[in-house]
Amino acid sequence: MGVRIGVLALQGDVSEHILAFRHALDGAGGVTAVRHAGDIADLDGLAIPGGESTTICRLVDKNAMRRPIETFEGGIFATCAGMVLVAVAVDDPRITPLGHIDMTVERNAFGRQRESFEADVPITGLDAPFHAVFIRAPAVTRVGPGTTVLGSVDRGIVAVRSGPHMALAFHPELGGDTRLHCMFLEHLQDTG
């Protein structure tokens, strides 16, 4: 039996992550949309996609998913708004983070929608930079023990790993490059 990955399907780039993980798994597992708290328990990994972090936080609570995600023992692949949610501290009091990665995150660190940009980001473990799409992106302002910085740009830390978890400030599901999805899956299998 292969790896079972769920994509939190409350808001954001759900279908894009499902396609990216299906491609990365190449038939060696399954990917499903997670819409209910009961969908989480049998997963090996959970993707928390980008979207609007305050909205996703509110929907996690409204759908009774906070406790199942907080106690989830698999790996979490968090992108953009997902990075905000998996931190232990966030600069916005409207967000109660899930606390999976010892880091502090600044929400919308690069500005509003019109300040969105693309950049080639060197990522530890990849042989060539990753072309990253930043849309109202967060940035990590502090990492704690056990959190490894994988990538940075001039204005901050944009990629980290902690245990089986990976968090990215950008949208790796856009553009067809699944190297970061594959890196997450490899690390998930190594730590599982």
Tens digits of per-residue pLDDT, 121-154?
Answer: 999 999 999 999 999 999 999 999 999 999 999 9
| Helix 179-191, helix 14-25: angle, nearest 10 | 70
23 is catalytic: no
Of the candidates 17, 171, 181, 187, the residue annotated as catalytic is: 171
Q: Band of the pLDDT at 11, cuts 50, 70, 90?
A: confident
173 is catalytic: yes
Confirm if 109 and 138 have CB atoms less than 8 A apart: yes
**Two tokens at 105?**
């995150």
Domain 3-191, CATH among 3.20.20.10, 2.60.40.1930, 3.40.50.880, 3.40.50.1820:
3.40.50.880
The domain locations on the chain are 3-191
Of the candidates 80, 100, 165, 187, the residue annotated as catalytic is: 80
Give the mean pLDDT of the chain: 93
> pTM value?
0.95
Of the candidates 100, 106, 165, 173, the residue annotated as catalytic is: 173
CA angle 153, 154, 158 (to 5 degrees): 30
pLDDT at 93 over 90: yes
140, β-bridge pairs:
105, 157
Helix/strand/coil percent split, the chain, to 5: 25, 35, 40
Confirm if 5 and 29 have CB atoms less than 8 A apart: yes
Confirm if 171 and 13 have CB atoms less than 8 A apart: yes
